[in-house]
């Protein structure tokens, strides 16, 4: 664990579910208080990064859905796998 209590895993390597779950934990810790100012800032920064990661996943999912709709029901959409979603 790091000083802010996170597992220190690179945010870019997290799945949507992992990032969301950790974000929920970070928010709960911030809401309960009891952290030092430095600890609170570190948690807030990680929370911001986790929220951004979740948004990246959601944006990627939206792009894939849009591509599938554009392809029509009888066509296979082009592969839109990005390195962020592997």
CATH of the domain at 52: 1.10.287
Query: In this structure, is residue 57 part of a structural domain?
Result: yes
Q: Which residue has the tokens 């599938």?
A: 68
Tens of pLDDT, residues 40-56: 999 999 999 999 999 99
Query: In this structure, is residue 3 part of a structural domain?
Result: no
Query: In this structure, is residue 21 part of a structural domain?
Result: yes
Determine the Cα–Cα distance for residues 24 and 46; give it in Å rounded to an integer. 11
Query: In this structure, is residue 81 part of a structural domain?
Result: no
pTM of the model: 0.72
Query: In this structure, is residue 5 part of a structural domain?
Result: no
Tens of pLDDT, residues 27-41: 999 999 999 999 999
**Which domain does 15 fall in, by range?**
11-72
Looking at the 3D structure of the chain, how many domains does it have? 1
First and final C-alpha spacing in the chain: 25
Determine the Cα–Cα distance for residues 73 and 47; give it in Å rounded to an integer. 39
15 Ramachandran zone, left/alpha/beta (phi>0; psi -120 to 50)? beta
Which residues fall within 8 angstroms of residue 56, CB to CB, at 6 or more apart?
84
């Amino acid at each position: 664990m790091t000083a802010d209590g996170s597992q220190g895993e690179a945010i870019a390597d997290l799945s949507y579910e992992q990032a969301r779950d950790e974000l929920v934990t970070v928010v709960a810790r911030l809401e309960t208080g009891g952290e030092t100012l430095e600890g609170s800032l570190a948690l807030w920064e990680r929370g911001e990064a986790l929220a951004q990661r979740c948004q990246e996943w959601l944006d990627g999912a939206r792009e894939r859905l849009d591509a599938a709709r554009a392809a029509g029901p009888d066509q296979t959409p082009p592969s839109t796998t990005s390195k962020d979603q592997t």
